[in-house]
Structure 1
Amino acid sequence: MRISGAFLAEKVEAVNNKLNVKGGVISHYQVGRDRVAQFDIVVLTQGDDGGTDRLVVIEVTPPDGGEPLHMHRELPTNLTTADVGFACWQFRLTLNLNGRWIIAMKGPAGTVSLPLTVSGPR
Protein backbone atom coordinates (compact mmCIF):
# COMPACT_ATOMS: atom_id res chain seq x y z
CA MET A 1 0.00 0.00 0.00
CA ARG A 2 1.12 3.55 -0.60
CA ILE A 3 -0.16 7.00 0.29
CA SER A 4 -1.54 8.48 -2.92
CA GLY A 5 -2.90 11.76 -1.55
CA ALA A 6 -4.32 13.65 1.39
CA PHE A 7 -6.43 16.68 2.24
CA LEU A 8 -7.72 18.69 5.19
CA ALA A 9 -11.46 19.09 5.68
CA GLU A 10 -13.86 20.72 8.09
CA LYS A 11 -15.51 17.38 8.86
CA VAL A 12 -15.44 13.91 7.33
CA GLU A 13 -16.99 10.59 8.15
CA ALA A 14 -17.18 7.13 6.69
CA VAL A 15 -20.73 6.21 5.66
CA ASN A 16 -21.28 2.75 4.15
CA ASN A 17 -17.55 2.48 3.38
CA LYS A 18 -17.68 5.78 1.48
CA LEU A 19 -16.02 9.07 2.38
CA ASN A 20 -18.52 11.81 3.22
CA VAL A 21 -16.95 15.30 3.33
CA LYS A 22 -19.02 18.00 5.06
CA GLY A 23 -18.17 21.68 4.86
CA GLY A 24 -15.50 21.26 2.22
CA VAL A 25 -11.78 20.88 1.87
CA ILE A 26 -9.75 23.58 3.62
CA SER A 27 -6.45 25.36 3.04
CA HIS A 28 -7.14 28.37 5.32
CA TYR A 29 -8.25 28.42 8.94
CA GLN A 30 -9.40 31.39 11.05
CA VAL A 31 -8.66 30.69 14.73
CA GLY A 32 -10.41 32.37 17.63
CA ARG A 33 -8.92 33.89 20.77
CA ASP A 34 -8.03 30.41 22.06
CA ARG A 35 -5.96 29.79 18.86
CA VAL A 36 -7.51 26.30 18.54
CA ALA A 37 -8.08 24.78 15.11
CA GLN A 38 -10.33 21.75 14.62
CA PHE A 39 -10.22 19.85 11.35
CA ASP A 40 -9.95 16.37 9.91
CA ILE A 41 -7.05 14.90 7.96
CA VAL A 42 -7.89 12.44 5.20
CA VAL A 43 -5.19 10.15 3.79
CA LEU A 44 -5.90 8.39 0.49
CA THR A 45 -4.19 5.08 -0.21
CA GLN A 46 -3.63 2.81 -3.17
CA GLY A 47 -2.64 -0.85 -3.30
CA ASP A 48 0.75 -1.69 -4.75
CA ASP A 49 3.33 -4.26 -3.63
CA GLY A 50 1.44 -5.48 -0.57
CA GLY A 51 3.46 -3.46 1.95
CA THR A 52 2.07 -3.97 5.44
CA ASP A 53 3.66 -1.14 7.46
CA ARG A 54 0.74 1.05 8.52
CA LEU A 55 2.48 3.65 10.70
CA VAL A 56 2.05 7.30 9.66
CA VAL A 57 3.91 10.12 11.40
CA ILE A 58 2.03 13.41 11.18
CA GLU A 59 4.33 16.40 11.47
CA VAL A 60 2.89 19.88 12.01
CA THR A 61 5.51 22.58 11.32
CA PRO A 62 4.88 26.23 12.31
CA PRO A 63 5.43 29.12 9.89
CA ASP A 64 8.55 30.30 11.73
CA GLY A 65 10.32 26.99 11.06
CA GLY A 66 10.22 26.12 14.76
CA GLU A 67 10.14 22.65 16.26
CA PRO A 68 7.37 20.58 14.62
CA LEU A 69 4.73 18.72 16.57
CA HIS A 70 4.86 14.94 15.91
CA MET A 71 1.91 12.58 16.18
CA HIS A 72 1.62 8.91 15.23
CA ARG A 73 -1.37 7.16 13.67
CA GLU A 74 -1.88 3.76 12.07
CA LEU A 75 -3.67 3.19 8.82
CA PRO A 76 -6.48 0.62 9.14
CA THR A 77 -5.46 -3.00 8.51
CA ASN A 78 -7.93 -3.45 5.65
CA LEU A 79 -6.01 -0.88 3.56
CA THR A 80 -3.04 -3.24 3.17
CA THR A 81 -5.06 -5.39 0.75
CA ALA A 82 -7.38 -2.76 -0.77
CA ASP A 83 -6.92 -1.37 -4.28
CA VAL A 84 -7.97 2.08 -3.02
CA GLY A 85 -8.90 3.32 0.42
CA PHE A 86 -8.84 6.14 2.92
CA ALA A 87 -8.27 6.89 6.57
CA CYS A 88 -9.42 9.97 8.45
CA TRP A 89 -8.45 11.41 11.80
CA GLN A 90 -9.85 14.34 13.78
CA PHE A 91 -7.45 16.93 15.15
CA ARG A 92 -7.75 19.75 17.64
CA LEU A 93 -4.52 21.75 17.70
CA THR A 94 -3.41 25.03 19.23
CA LEU A 95 -1.79 26.94 16.38
CA ASN A 96 -0.14 29.88 18.13
CA LEU A 97 1.19 31.72 15.05
CA ASN A 98 -0.44 33.24 12.00
CA GLY A 99 0.99 32.15 8.67
CA ARG A 100 1.56 29.05 6.56
CA TRP A 101 1.77 25.84 8.60
CA ILE A 102 2.86 22.60 6.91
CA ILE A 103 1.10 19.37 7.81
CA ALA A 104 3.03 16.35 6.52
CA MET A 105 2.10 12.67 6.62
CA LYS A 106 5.23 10.49 6.46
CA GLY A 107 5.74 6.76 6.54
CA PRO A 108 7.00 3.74 4.61
CA ALA A 109 3.88 4.06 2.46
CA GLY A 110 4.96 7.53 1.22
CA THR A 111 4.89 11.21 2.09
CA VAL A 112 2.35 13.98 1.49
CA SER A 113 2.62 17.61 2.66
CA LEU A 114 -0.27 20.04 2.96
CA PRO A 115 -0.21 23.78 3.61
CA LEU A 116 -2.65 25.37 6.06
CA THR A 117 -2.72 29.17 6.23
CA VAL A 118 -3.75 30.26 9.73
CA SER A 119 -5.04 33.70 10.64
CA GLY A 120 -6.72 35.16 13.66
CA PRO A 121 -6.17 37.14 16.83
CA ARG A 122 -2.68 37.20 18.32
Structure 2
Amino acid sequence: MIVTGAFFADRIETVDNKANITGGVQDYITLTGSGDVWNTNLVLLLQSNPDDAGKDHTATIEIFDPNYESVHKSDSTIQSTLHRGENRFWFFVMPLTFAIPGRYAFVVTVEGSTVSVPITVFFE
Protein backbone atom coordinates (compact mmCIF):
# COMPACT_ATOMS: atom_id res chain seq x y z
CA MET A 1 0.00 0.00 0.00
CA ILE A 2 1.39 3.38 -1.01
CA VAL A 3 0.25 6.68 0.50
CA THR A 4 -0.07 9.13 -2.40
CA GLY A 5 -1.54 12.07 -0.48
CA ALA A 6 -3.30 13.30 2.63
CA PHE A 7 -5.39 16.27 3.76
CA PHE A 8 -7.85 17.43 6.41
CA ALA A 9 -11.57 17.68 5.66
CA ASP A 10 -14.58 18.91 7.62
CA ARG A 11 -16.69 16.00 6.46
CA ILE A 12 -16.22 12.81 4.46
CA GLU A 13 -18.47 9.87 3.81
CA THR A 14 -18.35 6.86 1.55
CA VAL A 15 -21.01 6.92 -1.19
CA ASP A 16 -21.04 4.18 -3.84
CA ASN A 17 -17.49 3.20 -2.88
CA LYS A 18 -16.27 6.79 -3.49
CA ALA A 19 -15.23 9.62 -1.17
CA ASN A 20 -17.82 12.38 -0.79
CA ILE A 21 -15.86 15.28 0.77
CA THR A 22 -16.86 18.70 2.12
CA GLY A 23 -14.43 21.34 3.37
CA GLY A 24 -11.23 19.61 2.32
CA VAL A 25 -7.57 20.64 2.01
CA GLN A 26 -7.37 22.88 5.05
CA ASP A 27 -4.22 24.89 5.76
CA TYR A 28 -5.08 26.58 9.06
CA ILE A 29 -7.73 26.69 11.78
CA THR A 30 -8.72 29.28 14.36
CA LEU A 31 -9.79 28.10 17.81
CA THR A 32 -10.88 30.05 20.89
CA GLY A 33 -8.06 28.57 22.98
CA SER A 34 -6.42 25.41 24.30
CA GLY A 35 -9.72 23.89 25.50
CA ASP A 36 -11.49 24.27 22.14
CA VAL A 37 -12.04 21.04 20.17
CA TRP A 38 -11.35 20.79 16.43
CA ASN A 39 -13.44 18.01 14.89
CA THR A 40 -11.79 17.00 11.65
CA ASN A 41 -11.11 14.06 9.38
CA LEU A 42 -7.63 13.10 8.25
CA VAL A 43 -8.02 11.70 4.73
CA LEU A 44 -5.43 9.45 3.11
CA LEU A 45 -5.22 8.77 -0.62
CA LEU A 46 -3.83 5.30 -1.24
CA GLN A 47 -2.65 3.14 -4.11
CA SER A 48 -2.94 -0.59 -3.64
CA ASN A 49 -0.70 -3.24 -5.15
CA PRO A 50 -1.64 -6.78 -6.24
CA ASP A 51 0.04 -8.03 -3.02
CA ASP A 52 -2.48 -6.01 -0.96
CA ALA A 53 -5.47 -8.23 -1.78
CA GLY A 54 -7.02 -9.51 1.45
CA LYS A 55 -4.35 -7.84 3.61
CA ASP A 56 -5.05 -5.32 6.40
CA HIS A 57 -2.54 -2.49 6.87
CA THR A 58 -1.46 -0.49 9.91
CA ALA A 59 -1.49 3.30 9.75
CA THR A 60 0.69 5.01 12.35
CA ILE A 61 -0.24 8.62 13.06
CA GLU A 62 2.20 10.85 14.96
CA ILE A 63 1.57 14.51 15.77
CA PHE A 64 4.43 16.97 16.30
CA ASP A 65 3.80 20.32 17.99
CA PRO A 66 5.37 23.69 17.00
CA ASN A 67 8.42 22.80 19.14
CA TYR A 68 8.93 19.59 17.11
CA GLU A 69 7.99 17.41 20.08
CA SER A 70 5.82 14.34 19.56
CA VAL A 71 2.54 14.96 21.39
CA HIS A 72 0.57 11.95 20.14
CA LYS A 73 1.18 8.61 18.46
CA SER A 74 -1.36 5.91 17.63
CA ASP A 75 -1.98 3.02 15.27
CA SER A 76 -5.14 2.28 13.29
CA THR A 77 -6.04 -0.56 10.97
CA ILE A 78 -6.88 -0.01 7.31
CA GLN A 79 -9.06 -2.99 6.51
CA SER A 80 -8.56 -4.77 3.21
CA THR A 81 -12.33 -4.93 2.67
CA LEU A 82 -12.71 -1.15 2.92
CA HIS A 83 -12.63 -0.41 -0.83
CA ARG A 84 -12.07 -2.20 -4.09
CA GLY A 85 -9.76 -1.16 -6.87
CA GLU A 86 -6.28 0.23 -7.13
CA ASN A 87 -7.05 3.81 -6.04
CA ARG A 88 -8.36 3.90 -2.49
CA PHE A 89 -8.97 6.27 0.38
CA TRP A 90 -9.17 5.98 4.14
CA PHE A 91 -10.15 8.52 6.75
CA PHE A 92 -9.69 8.88 10.45
CA VAL A 93 -12.10 10.94 12.56
CA MET A 94 -10.04 13.13 14.89
CA PRO A 95 -11.45 15.34 17.66
CA LEU A 96 -8.37 17.36 18.66
CA THR A 97 -7.30 19.99 21.14
CA PHE A 98 -4.03 21.92 20.99
CA ALA A 99 -2.01 23.18 23.97
CA ILE A 100 -0.35 26.05 22.11
CA PRO A 101 -0.89 27.84 18.79
CA GLY A 102 1.50 27.27 15.90
CA ARG A 103 2.30 24.79 13.14
CA TYR A 104 1.59 21.12 13.86
CA ALA A 105 2.74 18.26 11.62
CA PHE A 106 0.72 15.07 11.30
CA VAL A 107 3.00 12.29 10.05
CA VAL A 108 1.26 9.17 8.75
CA THR A 109 3.10 5.97 7.86
CA VAL A 110 1.56 2.94 6.15
CA GLU A 111 3.91 0.02 5.53
CA GLY A 112 6.95 2.30 5.14
CA SER A 113 5.17 4.87 2.95
CA THR A 114 5.07 8.21 4.80
CA VAL A 115 3.26 11.50 4.29
CA SER A 116 3.26 14.66 6.40
CA VAL A 117 0.28 17.01 6.65
CA PRO A 118 0.78 20.38 8.38
CA ILE A 119 -1.92 22.52 9.98
CA THR A 120 -1.38 25.92 11.53
CA VAL A 121 -3.40 26.61 14.67
CA PHE A 122 -4.36 30.13 15.68
CA PHE A 123 -5.97 31.12 18.99
CA GLU A 124 -8.37 34.08 19.07
Category of TM-score, reference length = shorter chain: 0.7 to 0.9
With over 3 angstroms needed to count, the CA separation of the structure-2 counterparts of 1:76 and 1:62, relative to structure 1, is same
Task: From 61, 66, 69, give the equivalent of 1:66.
Answer: 69
CA drift at 1:112: 0.5
Query: In structure 2, do the counterparts of structure 1 residues 80 and 16 end up closer, same or farther at CA, with 3 Å as the change threshold?
Result: closer
TM-score (normalised: structure 2):
0.86
Superposed displacement of residue 86, structure 1: 0.5
User: 8 Å contact 2:7–2:24 — kept in the other structure?
Assistant: no
Q: Is the 8 A contact 2:2 2:110 kept in 1?
A: no
- 2:86 corresponding residue in structure 1: 83
Partner AA of 2:94 in structure 1: F
CA distance in 1: counterparts of 2:9 and 2:83, whole angstroms = 24
TM-score by length of 1: 0.87
Identify unmatched segments of 5+ residues in structure 1.
none
Percent identity for Structure 1 against Structure 2: 27
Change (3 A) 1:15 1:80: closer
Of 95, 120, 123, 1:92 maps to: 95
Gaps of 5+ in 2: none
CA–CA separation in structure 1 for the residues paired with 2:69 and 2:37: 18
Cα distance in 2 for residues equivalent to 1:41 and 1:67: 18
After superposition, the Cα gap between the structure-2 partners of 1:80 and 1:18, relative to the gap in structure 1 and judged at 3 Å, is closer
Q: Report the RMSD for the aligned CA atoms in angstroms.
A: 1.9
* 8 A Cα contact 2:17 2:83, kept in partner: no
Contact 1:45/1:79 (CA < 8 Å) preserved in 2?
Answer: no
Partner of 2:49: 48
The alignment status of 1:16 with 2:7, answered yes or no, reads no
